[in-house]
């Protein structure tokens, strides 16, 4: 298995040549803040299976805690991976950067007691292939393409 991943601006490109393990949806306040979403979907890869194909010079870093470094694209701010000095054999990915479909699936929702109060895990909401039909695209100036 080989997976491709990239940042939003496509400057940083990554290849993963092994499985992604321990995938979870994390609802802790730290993951919510760092992802800007209701939760972050994280998984682990072996460091030996992870290659930055292009854009190494565009990686920025932030040391969240001693020994824990988060890497992101300096241009578009997409999170790429996190490294933990106490676990050098593995890297943590935000799965949103993946361009490839993956075989692995999430194991659980974690830290649900910290979830955003507006996030209803069991909500039965309508599902659309594009924007919701009620969005007036002529007044927002947003097109329906992604």
Place of tokens 């802790």: 28
Place of tokens 């927002």: 140
Measure the CA–CA gap between 25 and 129, rounded to whole angstroms.
22
**Are the beta carbons of 34 and 43 closer than 8 angstroms?**
no
SS3 6: strand
pTM of the full structure: 0.84
| pLDDT of 15 above 70 | yes
> Could you read off the pLDDT of 68-122 as tens digits, one per residue?
999 999 999 999 999 999 999 999 999 999 999 999 999 999 999 999 999 988 7
Average pLDDT over residues 42-49: 97
Beta bridge partners of 52: 14
Q: What is the set of domains in the chain, with CATH numbers?
A: 3-116 (2.170.150.70)
> Could you read off the pLDDT of 134-143 as tens digits, one per residue?
876 655 555 5
Residue 66, classified by CB atoms within 10 Å of its CB into exposed (0-12), middle (13-18) or buried (19+), is exposed
């Amino acid at each position: 298995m080989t997976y491709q991943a990239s940042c939003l601006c496509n400057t940083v490109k990554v290849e993963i040549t092994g499985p992604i393990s321990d995938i979870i949806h994390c609802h802790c306040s730290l993951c919510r803040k760092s992802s800007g979403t209701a939760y972050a979907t994280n998984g682990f890869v072996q460091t030996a299976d992870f290659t930055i194909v292009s854009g190494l010079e565009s990686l920025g870093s932030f040391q969240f805690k001693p020994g824990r470094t988060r890497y992101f694209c300096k241009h578009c701010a997409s999170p790429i991976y996190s490294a933990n000095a106490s676990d050098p054999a593995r890297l943590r990915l935000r799965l949103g950067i993946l361009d490839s479909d993956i075989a692995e699936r999430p194991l659980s929702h974690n830290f649900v007691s910290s979830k955003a109060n507006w996030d209803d895990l069991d909500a039965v909401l309508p599902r659309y292939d594009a924007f919701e039909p009620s969005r007036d695209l002529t007044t927002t100036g947003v097109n329906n393409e992604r």
